[in-house]
Amino acid sequence: MAVLTGRMEQEIRFCSAPDGVQLAYATHGQGSPLVRAGTWLTHLEFDWASPLWRHWLAELGRDFRMIRYDERGCGLSDRDVMNFSLEDWVSDLETVVDEADLDRFALLGVSGGGPIAITYALRHPERVSHLVLYGSYSRARRARNDPDAVEQEDALIAMIKVGWGGVNPAFRRVFTTLFVPDATAEQMKWFDEIQQRSTSAGNAIALRRGRSTIDVSAAAREIDLPTLVLHANEDAVVPFDEGRRLAGLIRGARFVPLEGRNHILLEHEPAWQQFVKEVRAFARPVSGRELRYAGQLDQLSKRELEVLRLVAMGRSNLQIADTMFLSERTIERHLSNIYAKLRLTGKAARAAAASILSAAGDEVERAESE
């Protein structure tokens, strides 16, 4: 099934999870693969026309071959589902990745997709090149030891029971206001409608209950991958402090605060532009020019390769110095030598060097083991 939008074509396919649930997944764009872990409130077909999601699809599709899917119980995936748990959601991600025949890819976890992405990355670090987490958390509402958060969760579930399937969108508008408080009237109407289009009231409750007790803090501490964490500073769905806490758990993770209130970043807000810029710089496809440089990595010493590996993980010069028990000045000297050997100059040298390392892949591992 193909859907045209602008100059991009979306291809929708189906695959079966181990428990028989049929999952719908879609691909679009060009470049290295970027997989988005599933969340609720998505619909592969209707998201193309949505003023809330179309800019996400268009912008990310410019630099990546994007693979996304409707999670079980939602969108075009099977709605009649019994099992909603972290293990089921991670298994679904594994199924889609295998079905799409992906070897190595960047992984994007948005909101409730974050814990799924973290768990997958810990289990399959050889397949994840970069981990990007936006508006996410390591512990859900009922796992935070916060009575107010539990009370809020109970209230939201009660509203789903009363108003999710009704004609009057008043109860659904509560979710809309939380997720996109700065939305236009058109955008709010779309969000009101996507709630009903994406899933049933029963599934919405089951999904929230399944996620509400998740705690992947221990898994986050074990992640050793290049990681970028971004979070809006006035997010009403996932508190900013939870995003900051998540970044602190992951070794070497870079944290980017975004100015804004919207949980789903809107096209014309500055936070969206910053998000796109940061993700492109962090996980963008490697250019042909950089690929040509990859063959020059054999000029680097073992210590320079180790410095470059830590750069690719997003660590600062000070963090690298602490890790290698060297002075920050020594790290700066190593970086100068690396840039000279790879013929890189200017402000983009650091990002380009990290991309070259990613492009070289197994070549670097062999060099470091010799």
pLDDT tens digits, residue range 19-73? 999 999 999 998 889 999 999 889 999 999 899 999 999 999 988 999 999 999 9
Q: Nearest 5°: phi and psi at 193?
A: -75, -35
Using pLDDT thresholds of 50, 70 and 90, give the confidence band for residue 170.
Answer: confident
Architecture of domain 288-369: Orthogonal Bundle (1.10)
> Residue 13: pLDDT above 60?
yes
Name the phi and psi angles at 126, rounded to 5: -70, -15
Domain boundaries along the sequence of the chain: 2-145+213-283, 288-369
- At residue 306, the pLDDT reads 86
Q: Which of 14-23, 81-90, 102-111, 298-307 has the lowest mean pLDDT?
A: 298-307
C-beta separation of 233 from 257 below 8 A: yes
Percentage of residues in the chain having pLDDT higher than 90: 68
329-366: pLDDT as tens digits: 999 999 998 888 877 776 667 776 776 666 555 444 44
Calpha distance 170→175 (Å, rounded): 10
Does position 120 have pLDDT exceeding 60, yes or no?
yes
pLDDT value of position 169? 78
**Whole-model pTM?**
0.77
Rounded mean pLDDT, 277-292: 68
Q: What is the CATH number of domain 2-145+213-283?
A: 3.40.50.1820
